[in-house]
Every structure is written in C-alpha cells, then in structure tokens.
A and B are shown apart, each in its own frame.
Chain A
Amino acid sequence: MIRATVFIWIAVLASSLSNVLTSRGMQAMGPLEDCRPGPLLRYGLGAVSNKWVLLGLMAGMANFMLWLIVLSWADVSWALPMNAVEYAVTAGLAAWWLKERVAVRRWLGIGLISGGVACVMGSW
C-alpha cells in the first residue's frame, strides 16, 4: 500500500497545483463584471486561452490519470477520504505562492471541513 499512498499524495499535489494555477490565471484575467453576451464570450475565450488556466487544466488531467492508477490498486473506500487533504494543501500553496492571507479562522474552517469530508467519504 506504500506505492498507492505515494501516488495518492502526488495526485493530491497535482490537483492542488491545478487549483492555484487556475486561480493565478483568473486573477490575471481580473474579476468578471460585464455579463452581456458579447463581453461575456470575449472574457470566456480569454480565460480558457490563458496560459495559467491551461496549465491548471493540464495539472487537473494529470491528477485524473494518477487517480485512475491509484484506483486500479486500492479500494475506493480506502482512497477517497484522502481527497479531504486537498483543501489544506491548496490553501498552503495559495498562501505561499499567491500571497493569500489565510487567517486562523480560515484554517479552522478548512480543518473542520476536511475532517467532515473524511467522515462522509469514509462512511460510504
């Protein structure tokens, strides 16, 4: 199970990376404000052709493939609760790379949510 555990951690890292890369891209795009069809379409096309968003998409696909490999070795009920770690890893990466201010209150919220998700998924 060491092999599967290592791959799960790599998968969690890939999906967290995907989150912060996508977030980085959407920060560069700036907040979506004009929702008329023309500007909305232009904004959408700009977003899906942004290099950070595309890198995020690639990291997401890597996560998906790693996850398929993990599932070929391990039980879903054993592997699924590990997904709860993703929120904390993403917040850590966002605080470090995107300079997001993650205060104690937010860390506590993330901790409770991750614990809750682990309970829900572990009880499947």
Chain B
Amino acid sequence: MVKARVLVVMLVAIAAAGAGNVALSKGMQAVGSLEAFDPVSLWAFFTAAVANPWVIGGILLELANYLLWLAVLSWSEVSWALPLNALEYILVALTAAVFLGERVGPVRWAGIVLIAAGVALLYGSWHNRETPSVS
C-alpha cells in the first residue's frame, strides 16, 4: 500500500469525523439541552436524540470514520498513522479562518506550524511492516 493512498483515506476519515461532529452538534441543538436527570426525562431525551435525522447522519459519519480508521490500521503502523490525525487541527483552523471568518491567534498559528512540520517529518518515516501479519 502506497503511503500517499493511505494518507488520502485518512483525510477522508478526518473529513467524515469533522462533518459528523457538525451534524451531531446541529442535531443536539434541535433536540434541546438536557435539564432533568430522572429516568423519564433521560429516556425522552435520548429517544428524541436518536430519532433526529442530523443525529442519525452524524452517527453514520462517525461510524464511517471508525471503519476507515480500521482499514488504515490494516495497511500501516499505528505509530505512523495515529499522529497524522493531528491534520484535523490544521483543517479545522483553516476552515474557521477562511469560511467562518474567525480570528486565529498567534499561539494557535504557532501550533499549526509545529503540527505541519511534524506531519512532514513523520510522513517521510513510513516503511513497510517487516512482519506483514502477527496472527
């Protein structure tokens, strides 16, 4: 498996997780905040949540993220793949800055530069597993 292809699958997985979070948050805002913790209220809250189309969509996207992550782990070492998930912070910051017009402060920019440099180093440290399967 070529590392570039694994990276593309990871980016799709990250995008699915991000979209899933947005959908879940949109759905839970429609459901309303949980105020009472007696069994009847809790039941009503969770049944309303899992019946909401945004929540259902969000759960499906999170599931897709998990299955894609399993595929990534079948191709690559976990010490290589896991830190690449930090690309999410770059994508979120850029999305917030470009599309939502949010102000990104200097500390967060510094963090983004560090993450980008680390990802570049890590990406180049790919090597094929010596033992293809430890069954």
Closest CB pairs A-B (n = 7): A119-B111, A109-B122, A112-B118, A116-B114, A116-B115, A113-B118, A109-B121
- The contact sample of 16 A-B pairs, CB cut-off 8 A, is A19-B78, A19-B82, A30-B132, A44-B70, A47-B70, A94-B77, A98-B134, A106-B80, A109-B83, A109-B119, A109-B121, A111-B118, A113-B83, A113-B114, A117-B111, A120-B108
Which bracket fits the contact residues of A?
35 or more
Q: Is B83 within 8 A of A123, CB to CB? A: no
Interface residue ranges, B against A (CB under 8 Å)? 1, 67, 69-71, 73-75, 77-80, 82-83, 86, 89, 93, 105, 107-108, 110-125, 127, 129-135
Residues of B within 8 A of A111 (CB): 118
Which residues of A are found within 8 Å of B111, using beta-carbon distances?
115-123
The reply to whether B135 and A28 contact each other, CB–CB distance below 8 Å, is yes
Minimum Cβ distance to chain B for residue A121 (Å): 8
Q: Is the CB of B73 within 8 A of A26?
A: yes
A binding-site residues for B, Cβ under 8 Å: 19-20, 22-24, 26-32, 44, 47-48, 53, 86-87, 90-91, 94-95, 98-103, 105-106, 108-123
